Amino acid sequence: MSHESPGDVVFSAEQISRRVAELAAAIRRDAADGPLTILAVLHGSAVFLAELLKRLGTTVDVEFVEASSYRDGTTSNGQVALGRCGRLDLAGRDVLIVDDIVDTGHTLAAVRRAVEATGPRSVRTCVLLDKPSRRQVDVALDYCGFVVNNVFVVGYGLDYAGRYRGLPHIARLEG
């Protein structure tokens, strides 16, 4: 039986709200020359995406891709499984990949490679959290909410074995 549970708050709901508004403003400024297609990485990015979309105030297309390297553990196994959700026709588009966290970099790199193979006009990345201490693959981050230490975090869409996504803040996983 698992005894993991959320511990100390790392980023409060208020801190996250302010930072998401700042990210949306930067994205709006940079995407001013045309429509934007957001490719959201499921499932962790769902809460972040919803809040980001509320603040973008621009016409955007939203597509989804399923990607996972954690399974039910707390460390990435380095092998990324990608699954398409809906169409992934990104040729000639300005694409913004949105994800909850970049850790080893394997997932974001795999998604970016898949996007680039479709012939987009441009590709940018936006993550809520960056954990550079665990990076194994170099990935460019155009927009980043917060840098987090090498701790496992849950809440605001981030989960442990499917739990704790609904927390309004981000907390350290204890146990």
**Domains of the chain by start residue, with CATH:** 13-150 (3.40.50.2020)
pLDDT at 74: 47
The pLDDT confidence band at residue 25, using thresholds 50, 70 and 90, is very high
Query: Which one-letter DSSP state was computed for residue 155?
Result: B
Q: Is 160:4 a contact under the CB 8 Å cutoff?
A: yes
The pLDDT confidence band at residue 84, using thresholds 50, 70 and 90, is low
Catalytic residue set: 103
Task: Give the contacts of 64 (CB within 8 A, at least 6 positions apart).
Answer: 39, 40, 41, 42, 85, 86
